[in-house]
A and B are shown apart, each in its own frame.
Chain A
Amino acid sequence: MTRNDFLSVVPLFILTSAAILIMFSIAVKRNHKVIYIITLLSLLADFVYVVANMAGTRHELEPLFVIDGFGVFYIGLILLTSLLVTMMSYAYFEQREERKEEYYILLILATLGSVVLVISKHFVSLFLGLEILSVALYAMIAYLRKRERSDEAGIKYLILAAFSSAFLLFGMALVYVTTGTMSFEGMAQYLATVQGLPFMMVAGLGMMVVGMGFKLSVVPFHMWAADVYEGAPAPVTAFIATVSKGGMVGLLVRFFDTLHAQQYPVLVLIFTCIAITSMLAGNFLALRQNNVKRVLAYSSISHMGYLLVAFIAGDAMGTEAVTFYLVAYFVTTLGAFGILATLSDTERDAEVMDDYRGLLWRRPWTAAIFTAMLLSLAGIPLTAGFVGKFYVIAAGVHTQQWLLVVMLAVNSVVGLYYYIRIIAVMFEQPQRDSDQPHMLHPVAYIISGFTMAILTVSLIWLGVFPAGLMGIIKGLL
């Protein structure tokens, strides 16, 4: 291993050593605050390292990793998102009785898995990253064991994730049989020599799509989403919705772009079907939900569908649009779940509509932020979601995917209905005065408030001045 090799995987080392450090620290003494600070600092240090030292470099760590602008951007995004999830976790877990410390180990490991995914260029690293992520998530989802739904969610995720991993492995095997290589570039070279897509390759890629689609919770691999979102603790749900999906999106883009998959009609057809059904199913199933977490689960399914529109477009603009959309979606989703976590009490998460009734009058700031997040999900101007959606539609129109963009437009309208339904509930007059919940140490609220403030400011900033982020994305990709 050369010095350069080492330097380019320092972000992974920081994460692994942080996990080990936390383990030792727990062995010495359980202290939520100390562990929380270690987690925060290591994620922050990692992020700073990535931003300061790795932007603009390209380094290949044969045969597993490639660290290029795209990878660096996604690593940074994932680290930042994990950092924000950590920030909103403290107040949430402090209220809970269970042992909280191991949660942070799992969080860091899951982040590691996601980071590995976005820089892998080989099936082995892909699978390693995926499994590190999944195994950590099994435990995170069922972390609050005493709640009735969390076991259900954990087991559901475990079984389905294992199942989808099996599909992925089988698919990889088929691809390997056809191409004789496990590296993405090797496959691309093989494909360049043959006419069209060999049947075995189609079968293999199709099975891999099952595995990847599961992580993205796109239709028809979305069955777990609503239950897991509902059962998992709010910060974990935020993590699943962002980091876990983001890592997979990064991988998907890298894998299929290396293979130039958009030139094969059969693959485009598969993804088009997935995108359209995800948009439709996500939005229409969300219409009848009364649980905010489930609404957000179905909404995230449809958002992955929107994202696929840009992915299918496939050119440079498509990749930019995917990336921008992902950033906007991360900010928005984190914000929404952050609000959910803030409103949750010791017994349960704030997930039924009644928790939000009259919120605008009880806690105007919280409600205003949540409204902003929902409007961003709906893609209304002044928010990041609007620019993201605009970018995606632009990418779709650019490559003349008229069916997809029209479906996107239609679905946005359907989606609008359930977002404004939640907003309408928030500004209804409250029926009863809810008693003030048990108060924590004010610092916990300051940190949560600070997190939400960062998210809101970035939401509006990206909505009004998107040029900066667009420039960064264009520069790195």
Chain B
Amino acid sequence: MILPALIIFLLAGGILAWSAEKINASYPKWIALAVLAIYLVVMGSLWSAENTTALTGGSWKVHFMKPWIPQFGVSFHLALDGLSLLMLLLTFFLGMAAVLISWKEIQNRVGFFYFNMLWVLAGISGVFLAMDLFLFYFFWEMMLIPMYFLIGIWGHENRRYAAYKFFIFTQASGLLMLLAVLGMYFVHGATAGEYTFDYFAWLGTPLSTQTGRWLMLGFLAAFIVKLPVVPFHSWLPDAHAEAPTAGSVILAGLLLKTGAYGLIRFVVPLFPEASHYFAPVLMGLGVLGILYGAILAFAQTDIKRLVAYTSVSHMGFVMLGVFAFNEVAMKGVVMQMITHGISTGALFILAGVLYERIHTRDINHMGGFWPQVPFMGTMGLVFAMASLGLPGLGNFVAEILTLLGAWQANHTLTILATVGLVAATAYSLRIVQKIFLGKPEHHYTLPDLSGREKLILVPLVVAIVWLGLFPQAVMQQVDQPAKAGTAQTQVTTSGLLVNQHVKGGEHDPK
């Protein structure tokens, strides 16, 4: 019951926050914070829960299932394993940071703002838990509307354009996924004789080569737009740059992760053969993203756009790792999802903090801030170092594992991806250089971080350092999913290969 309650309380909390605005304008943020804090604790308590429920594709910590639309074989099916748990912890952790950073930034329509925020988080949590593909699509779409409102109402100058672009890109790719989901539904129904959207039933469905590839492309469309993979990334810089700080944090920290999660949870296990077929191309796109994102990040003058492009670059590692098909790379990818969420979220928070003080996002108007704001400078330095992958911080572990895994799959691409790390150094240092060092050209009076801002950033620093020093804790959580994912892949692919071999044998005239 804990899983549906999670989503229901987030939704209810949103409604409560909206209606509480009438009583007192400061209630909504307290409500939002309280809901998220409670769930952070609840999820934390599941950390050491045993994997008790055995289902196809591994065993799960918590599992909930209830028929929803029996005529279609749709059930309200949620399940939690280590991967989902990590993602949910990240969701509530960054959610709290997003609430805290909006504390003073959002002054108008406060209630509606927190309503949207909690609903986005509900949609995201649903995505990380849904084990029924109809339900998954349902949540996938559900998180769009509140996000659209967050960008469109509280964003910066060009918010309308950014909000449209975000919405239309994600919706279009989502519809392709819907077609693929339905295609898979009928294919599975025809072979298994039972029409259902259940993920576990779908695992291991034999697909003809052609069908499998088309269906996989449908799923892939949604996930690589969300991730995003170059050349489907163009919504991202706009959306990230125009969103309010909390919106950017949620977008970069969580929404992008739903794409990565979809790849790990659905694309690879459901379409092992097609995944192997497309793997070189997809890894190549990943590397392209790493390099292209890094180069563009280096050329940006808008600090939020800069950070946005670093996301494009970092998410390239996810593509590279997922389609390397081995456990090391898979663990690297999971680490990357978490550490990127934290470090990029923190950079967006810093950008927001700066914007609140000097009302510009142009880094050419910044410079020499360190003497005035040493604490903020330190924070900036830490997260810039995290972003470039300094050993000792979480991102290093993530990237090195991904590269190690990818090396086994493809040497050339791995070398090129490693070049991306050099570019990452360039843009990360440029952030520090342009903002905090150098000569002050404009004379702003900058107060250093307030207590509330420290309260947001310090836990993020702790988290990123902890992840860098003790990554094993996270690894253990994904031990099983990662193994299950890759093992599943190997089993089914070898099965298919055998099949093909047999077929080939039959057709062989000799």
For the residues of A in contact with B, the DSSP-based class is helix
* Contact of A394 with B72 at beta-carbon distance under 8 Å, contacts A386-B141, A409-B178, A427-B152 already known: yes
A394 to B184, CA, bound (A): 11
Please indicate the chain A residues that have their CB under 8 angstroms from the CB of B148 in the complex.
420
* Of B71, B72, B138, B179, the contact of A409 (CB 8 Å cutoff): B179
Told that A380-B144, A381-B139, A412-B171 touch, could you supply 7 new A-B pairs with CB distance under 8 A?
A: A381-B137, A382-B142, A386-B138, A390-B182, A393-B178, A413-B171, A465-B68
> What CA separation (Å) do A382 and B139 show in the bound complex?
9
The answer to whether the Cβ of A41 comes within 8 Å of any Cβ in the partner chain is: no
Instruction: List residues of chain A with CB under 8 Å of any chain B CB.
Output: 361, 375, 380-382, 386, 390, 393-394, 397-398, 405-406, 409-410, 412-413, 416-417, 420, 424, 427, 465-467, 470-471, 474
Q: Which residues of B contact A394 (CB under 8 A)?
A: 72, 182, 185
Known: A381-B141, A409-B178, A470-B71. A398 touches B168 (CB 8 A): no
Closest to B175 in A: A409
Determine which of A390, A416, A417, A474 lies in contact with B178 in the assembled complex, contact meaning CB atoms within 8 Å. Answer: A390
Contact A405 B179 (CB under 8 A): yes
Judging by beta carbons under 8 Å apart, are A467 and B68 in contact? yes
Residue of A whose beta carbon sits closest to that of B70: A467
Bound Cα distance A382, B15 (Å): 15
Q: Which among B159-167, B318-326, B416-424, B461-469 touches the partner chain?
A: B159-167
> Which residues of A sit under 8 angstroms from B149, Cβ to Cβ?
427
* Residues A466 and B164 in contact in the complex (CB < 8 Å), given A380-B145, A394-B182: no
Say which residue of B142, B153, B168 sits within 8 Å of A417 (CB atoms).
B168
CB distance B183 to A397 under 8 Å? yes
Check B69 against A470 for contact (C-beta < 8 Å).
Answer: yes
CB distance from B267 to the nearest CB of A (A): 19
The verdict on A474 contacting B71 (CB below 8 Å), with A380-B145, A420-B167 known, is yes
The answer to whether A413 touches B141, judged by C-beta atoms less than 8 angstroms apart, is no
Which residues on A sit within 8 Å (CB–CB) of B153?
427
List B contacts of A465 (CB < 8 A): 68
* Interface hits, B167-222 → A, CB 8 Å: 167-168, 171-172, 175-176, 178-179, 182-183, 185-186
Within the complex, what minimum Cβ distance (angstroms) separates B21 from chain A? 11
B residues near A413, Cβ cutoff 8 Å: 168, 171-172, 175
Nearest-neighbour CB distance to chain B for A268, whole angstroms, equals 20
Whether the Cβ atoms of B142 and A381 lie closer than 8 Å is yes
In angstroms, Cα B186 to Cα A428, docked, is 44
Q: Kindly identify which residue among B71, B163, B182, B183 contacts A467, using a CB–CB cutoff of 8 Å.
A: B71
For residue A405, which residues in chain B have a CB less than 8 angstroms away from its CB?
179
**Cβ contacts A to B, 18 pairs, < 8 Å:** A375-B145, A380-B142, A380-B144, A381-B142, A386-B141, A390-B134, A394-B72, A397-B179, A397-B182, A409-B178, A413-B171, A416-B171, A417-B164, A417-B168, A424-B160, A427-B149, A467-B68, A467-B69
Q: How far is the CA of A52 from the CA of B72 in the complex (A)?
A: 28
Q: Which residue of B lies closest to A371 (CB)?
A: B145
CA distance A420 to B142 in the complex (A): 15
What is the minimal beta-carbon distance from B193 to any residue of chain A, in angstroms? 15
Complex Cα distance A409/B168, Å?
Answer: 12
Chain B 296-318: CB-based contact to A (< 8 A → 1; otherwise 0): 00000000000000000000000
User: Which residues of chain B are near A393, meaning CB under 8 Å?
Assistant: 178-179, 182
Minimum distance in angstroms from A35 CB to a CB of chain B? 40
Docked complex Cα distance between A410 and B69 (Å): 26
Q: Mark B51-92, 1 if CB is under 8 A from A, else 0.
A: 000000000000000001111100000000000000000000
| Chain B contacts for A470, CB-based, 8 A | 69, 71-72
Q: Is the CB of B163 within 8 A of A466?
A: no
Q: A247 to B152: give the CA distance in the assembly, Å.
A: 40
Give every chain A residue within 8 A of B152 (Cβ-Cβ): 424, 427
**Closest chain A residue, CB of each to CB of B187:** A397
Q: Which of A380, A410, A471 contacts B71 (CB 8 A)?
A: A471
In the complex, the 9 A-B pairs of residues with the closest C-beta atoms, listed nearest first: A409-B175, A413-B172, A397-B182, A381-B141, A467-B69, A470-B71, A381-B138, A381-B142, A394-B182
Contact indicator per residue, chain B 96-137, by CB within 8 Å of chain A (1) or not (0): 000000000000010000000000000000000000001001
Chain A residues within an 8 Å CB radius of B69 = 466-467, 470
Which A residues touch B137, using CB under 8 A?
381
Residues of A within 8 A of B167 (CB): 416, 420
A413 to B178, CA, bound (A): 13
Across the two chains, which residue of chain A brings its CB closest to B190? A398
B171, A398: Cβ atoms closer than 8 Å: no
* Residue of A whose beta carbon sits closest to that of B182: A397
